[in-house]
Amino acid sequence: MPQRKPDPPETGNTISWDPYGRPIVPDNPVIPFIEGDGTGPDIWRAARPVFDTAVRKAYGGKKKILWLELLAGAKAQDALGPDCLLPDETLEALARYGIAIKGPLTTPVGGGFRSLNVTLRQRLDLYACIRPVRYVPGIPAPVRHPERVDLVIFRENTEDVYAGVEWEAESPAAREILEQINARLSSEGKPPLPIESAVGIKPMSRRNTRRLVARAIQYALDHHYDSVTLVHKGNIMKYTEGAFRDWGYETARELFGERTLTETELFEGFGGRMPPGRIVIKDRIADAMFQQLLLRPEEYGVLATPNLNGDYLSDAAAAQVGGLGMAPGANIGDRCAVFEATHGSAPKYAGMDKVNPGSLILSGVEMLRFMGWEEAGDLIVKALQDTIADGIVTYDLARQMENVKEVSCSAFGAAIQSRMR
Ligand code: NAD
């Protein structure tokens, strides 16, 4: 039975961090994993050997991950009791070891946690939700040119309407707040709000916008993207979303002035030709961004968005290249990063060795790249592409493709491993 305190592997080392929130990774880091609920154990069993094989083949034994299991969700409840969905020991170990990977966790029904995932993000201050969106050749997609999409979405993870400050319609609290607001509106000569309304608050701050945008710009520079686009609805919400745009430009100017320029500067100063070593910072209204994504995706690289825009945009962009089944994700802070499958726990397939482990495997690729182990990540991407090109896929893709062989979750992982050279 798993123990309450995780036993760290004896030979592993702990990751440290530089002042810019980038990890300093030893050759044998301890990396915690959370299997997750439902189909989580199935996809983890398929994915872990893929990561180990890639690291072994890329570095010939010089580097090795020492995995450390942490408990969360149903597995924590089974081991430690019904109130132990997210043990303190798990949060402490995530904070200590810094980089981790997790499967999906079922959202508990009833009191206690709103969502384990939201709790994890808040307790560890994982302020950037990162969703790369790239096409894997051969995957059925609803658009004619999915290969034109190569995006990385940085979604603010801690505020906006997700701060969870709301009052029910006609409740005493909502009435009290509306009375105060209406008094203020009346003094400003504006019409009142209906007193029976529900009320929600949309907080957005300079500090949280700046750290998100700084991380997006640093990522674009490190990974050779040529633009960062601030996506907002500032034409309507001037002091929240409009401020997000303004603080975004301010961050670029103040922290990356030598490396960035605006679209106006690009056209007026450089005739539209990008000077080497720079990236362009632009902004788009959120609704126009959805159109642009369909019509001219090749003009966009890194996107930085407030929480709600980013939620909509990430799922729409993933659908554009063939769906959530293969979409990787990560939640990142300055001292901790948790990589995770973006789909849920798909409980009806639990234990059937059936679902697609692609999202977790590609999340692991992002983790390896974040660690600076690009060679291992590249090996996995190439082998996964070759597996799909050879017509070997799990049921979810098999039912949309012709002339392919449907294999189990574990067999898909094994097929990827066997194609790594
Ligand atoms: P889900 O993603 O589990 O399932 C939606 C559909 O996608 C189902 O038809 C499912 O069978 C299919 N599917 C999911 N993953 C798949 C895979 N890897 N391969 C093939 N098909 C796959 O969403 P849901 O049913 O709404 O949620 C189930 C539980 O997961 C809920 O408790 C939800 O809160 C939770 N959830 C967790 C996370 C997370 O941990 N990050 C994310 C989303 C949902």
The residue contributing the CA closest to ligand 1 atom 8 is: 346
pTM of the entire predicted model? 0.93
Residue 1: other Cβ atoms inside 10 A = 5
Q: What is the pLDDT of residues 372-409, one digit of tens each?
A: 999 999 999 999 999 999 999 999 999 999 999 999 99
Task: Say yes or no: 153 and 245 in one domain.
Answer: yes
Cβ 104 under 6 angstroms from ligand 1? yes
Q: Which residues of 84-110 are buried (b: 16+ CB within 10 A; e: fewer)?
A: bbbbebbbebbeebbbbbbbbbbebee
Q: What is the pLDDT of residues 55-105, one digit of tens each?
A: 999 999 999 999 999 999 999 999 998 888 999 999 999 999 999 999 999
Is residue 2's pLDDT more than 60? Answer: no
Q: How many residues does the chain have?
A: 421
Average pLDDT over residues 263-279: 93
Mean pLDDT score across all residues of the chain: 94
Task: Say yes or no: 193 and 281 in one domain.
Answer: no
Task: Say yes or no: 150 and 297 in one domain.
Answer: yes
Task: Say yes or no: 186 and 242 in one domain.
Answer: no
pLDDT of residue 348: 96
Active-site residue, selected from the candidate residues 27, 222, 226, 287: 287
Q: State which ligand 1 atom lies nearest to the alpha carbon of 356.
A: 19
Residue 307 within a domain: yes
Please confirm, yes or no, whether 78 is among the known catalytic residues: no
pLDDT of residue 1: 42
Cβ 302 under 6 angstroms from ligand 1? no
Q: State which ligand 1 atom lies nearest to the alpha carbon of 116.
A: 40
Residue 136 within a domain: no
The range of the structural domain enclosing residue 338 comes to 1-128+326-421
Cβ 395 under 6 angstroms from ligand 1? no
CA of residue 16 to ligand 1 center, whole Å = 33
Domain count, the chain: 3
CA of residue 351 to ligand 1 center, whole Å = 14
Active-site residue, selected from the candidate residues 311, 353, 386, 396: 311
Does residue 318 contact residue 133 with C-beta atoms inside 8 Å? yes
Average pLDDT over residues 1-19: 74
Cβ 59 under 6 angstroms from ligand 1? no
Q: State which ligand 1 atom lies nearest to the alpha carbon of 348.
A: 11
Residues forming a β-bridge with 281: 228, 262
Task: Say yes or no: 109 and 179 in one domain.
Answer: no
Q: For residue 72, what are the contacts with CB-CB under 8 A and spacing of at least 6?
A: 34, 36, 85, 86, 87, 90, 102, 105, 116, 120
Reported confidence tier of residue 162, pLDDT bands at 50, 70, 90: confident
